[in-house]
Structure 1
């Protein structure tokens, strides 16, 4: 029997989610929520590493983050065109895992696959709820409560900032689980990810978001639609 989850994060490549929103995933797993990552591709065109290595690194990162599930759709790297077949695959994951909240990359990013992932997930979240949108797998329609977009290579104005100060070392450990991508070494070429400025940029960005809400580290999310609130003043304990 397939386990459903509370929080499902999509990435175009293994390591996308870890860069942008793994602090949130670790925090929710720590609080007892079921969390999952779905990698659309294996990142097979990455300058360093290979599919076997990337999958092992992704599994290690998932263990660090306490994930309930990690799925791989095996779509082509630099080939996320949003065809009916590709969109159906994403819809099927959403209907199968039935998450309450979905996370996807921000729609503005230097990497075309990240923006394509953002578009595909947004469409899939919509289609997953359509009763007459039938799939061969027979999964029942599912309506996601909230979709948020996370930042990977860039930063911007966040609609929501989540305090991820506790256990921030787990986020950094999950990122560094992808040694082939973030650690220079023999036989590896220089990329934006393994330059000495990249990881400090991620930490500095999270510190900046944390500063905005008065904590050490934060992760920023953007909502494509208004965020519902029952009241402006929370109830006292």
Structure 2
């Protein structure tokens, strides 16, 4: 299956928090989108890998993505090396996305920056002819493939975006997909330990941070991305 967009997240829920609205919007326009989680979030303070798996499946249904896979890399300890790069190259060549979305280039959680550089490097290497790969469910050699664009969504840190997508009509889809992770976020009935993302304030920040980005582009809600290269347009009138 060829995808238009392939979104990567170091942990299940990264993609929903960072670019869930953008994904929902593009799917509504007929684009085929997939998600690949690098880890099962097994070091998360709340929940279990099994509960996280179920929550990720539910969130994927809410967004309507075509595929969701988990690489089962080691949460907290995966690195940007040849083994991990090759595994991601296989996925990039398998799904041949035009656009890749991935973690913020720098962030509070160490896996986010590591995931960002790992995916970015894999996207470049995936285009090299002399790297031979094949996946278990495919016969023969995989053709090289390099995505046209790699964008990094904004996470905990308020990084300066290069691009802001208007998600005003899809903010509720984003929030619903995020809150599918019931073990991770605010729940007044939970007896689990508190974390930086389990507070009511963090839950409310999903909307108010999107509202602030929307304000910057003259819309109600937005999601921001940093780009790896200059944004090209045919005309200044293509810019809103």
Give the shorter-chain TM-score range.
over 0.9
Label 1:159 to 1:78 Cα distance change in 2 as closer, same or farther (>3 A).
Answer: same
- For 1:24 and 1:179, the matched residues in 2 are separated by 22
Q: How far off is 1:183 after superposition?
A: 2.9
Instruction: Tell me if 1:176 matches 2:179.
Output: yes
**What is residue 30 of structure 1 aligned with on the other side?**
28
Q: How far off is 1:149 after superposition?
A: 0.5
Paired residues for 1:204-219 under 5 Å: 204-219=208-223
- For 2:145 and 2:5, the matched residues in 1 are separated by 14
**Structure 2: which 5+ runs fail to align?**
136-140
Label 1:124 to 1:89 Cα distance change in 2 as closer, same or farther (>3 A).
Answer: same
- For 1:154 and 1:228, the matched residues in 2 are separated by 26
| 1:140 partner SS | coil
Q: How far off is 1:52 after superposition?
A: 1.1
- For 2:42 and 2:71, the matched residues in 1 are separated by 13
- Identify which range, 3-12 or 149-158, moves more after superposition: 149-158
Moved >4 Å (runs of 4+): none
Q: How far off is 1:167 after superposition?
A: 2.3
- For 1:54 and 1:156, the matched residues in 2 are separated by 27
**What is residue 109 of structure 1 aligned with on the other side?**
107
- Identify which range, 224-233 or 142-151, moves more after superposition: 224-233
| 1:71 partner SS | strand
**What is residue 138 of structure 2 aligned with on the other side?**
none
**What is the aligned residue count?**
233
- For 2:92 and 2:131, the matched residues in 1 are separated by 13
**What is residue 189 of structure 1 aligned with on the other side?**
193
**What is residue 141 of structure 1 aligned with on the other side?**
144
Q: How far off is 1:233 after superposition?
A: 2.4
User: Contact 2:154/2:161 (CA < 8 Å) preserved in 1?
Assistant: no
- For 1:23 and 1:95, the matched residues in 2 are separated by 26
Match of 2:41 among 28, 40, 43: 43
What is the TM-score of this pair, normalised by structure 2?
0.94
Deviations, residues 158-199 of structure 1 (Å, cap 9, x unaligned)? 111100000211100000000000033434110011111112
- For 2:159 and 2:106, the matched residues in 1 are separated by 10
Label 1:234 to 1:224 Cα distance change in 2 as closer, same or farther (>3 A).
Answer: closer
- For 1:19 and 1:188, the matched residues in 2 are separated by 21
| 2:236 partner SS | coil
Match of 2:166 among 163, 169, 183: 163
